[in-house]
Amino acid sequence: MKRAAGFILLAALAAWGAGPAFSKAGPAAVRLAAFIPRTAGPWVSGPDRVYDFQTIFQYLDGAGEVYRSYNMKLVVSRRFQKDGRADIVADLFDMGSSEDAFGVFTHDVDGEDAGIGQGSSYQAGVLAFWKGRYFASVTAEKETPESKAAVLEIGRRIAAAIPKNGPTPRLLAVLPPEGLDGRHVRYLHDWSTLNYHFYVADRDILGLEGTASVVLAPYGTAGGTSFLLIVSYPSEERAVRAFESFSKAYMPEAKKPAVVRNAGKKWTASARAGAIVIVVFNADSDEFAMNQLAAVQELIEAGTKK
């Protein structure tokens, strides 16, 4: 499932007319709407539509679950129109925290960096970016040179109106830098989103329960791409249960240290450090996998001493 910058928004364009009018929105929506410009070149905007955690499916149908998995609070949607030109829709989400704004942005980072906000992506008429606790997507129904310029203008004006940047998830600090594909690091909370990016199992064997903080990071190696998964749980007790569940379901034949070779001749290794579970998938060798685990554990230990 793509986030708003993909087919989610394209489907939403057709359903845009439904939903509560801006005039019925509360002060939080008024503040959010103030970040979006009213005009862009020859395009002028119509009435806003406002959706929250409960009503997001009226706008995005099943795709709203992506935003719900990142704890979205509110979205204001504004359509820009001009006779003879493609419509443009700007959606601005209040995600409640900068960590979750970053997370929903990482759900789909295909496209070119547009240099907007704290991270951005532009592809085929769709701009997505995040800044502070906000995630924005601006979509042209049809991409033309003129509509692209307008989409980018709207995005820049929204980003400029948002007063402050926000911190990225703390787990990013324990990613070993060597070989890291930083553009495609994902941050998430639930197992279905994890499976979308890297299939682990048909059930929540890691006990994420939508409340864990998860980083999935790809690393380029001579033999392809390995994946480093780091999960921070609300308590060490949760982490112990999750590590035992994962080990039993995914690598039951593993001894200590917990490293196994799969049928595709790739290696999986896992470890636990307090309330954090670490897993390396698709490693070229057991040595690489164990070195990745050790590198993360060192960074975790260094962080606790600060």
Instruction: Give pLDDT, residue 262.
Output: 84
Please spell the DSSP secondary structure of the chain, one letter per residue.
---IIIIIHHHHHHTTT-S-BGGG--HHHHHHHTTS-SEETTEEE---EEEETTTTHHHHGGGHHHHHHTT--EEEEEEEE-TTS--EEEEEEE-SSHHHHHHHHHT---SB----TTEEEEETTEEEEEETTEEEEEEESS--HHHHHHHHHHHHHHHHHS----PPPGGGGGS--TTB-GGG-EEESSHHHHHHHS---SS-TT--TTTSEEEEEEEEETTEEEEEEEEE-SSHHHHHHHHHHHHHHH-TT--SS-EEE-TTS-EEEEEEETTEEEEEEEESSHHHHHHHHHHHHHHHHHHHT-
Q: Which fold has domain 4-161?
A: Protein Transport Mog1p; Chain A (3.40.1000)
> Which CATH code for domain 170-304?
3.40.1000
What does the pLDDT read at residue 83? Answer: 85
Query: 170-304: same fold as 4-161?
Result: yes
The full set of domain ranges for the chain reads: 4-161, 170-304
Q: Radius of gyration of the chain from Cα atoms?
A: 21
**Residue ranges of the chain whose pLDDT lies below 50:** 1-23
pLDDT at residue 3, as a whole number: 37
pLDDT at position 12 is 42
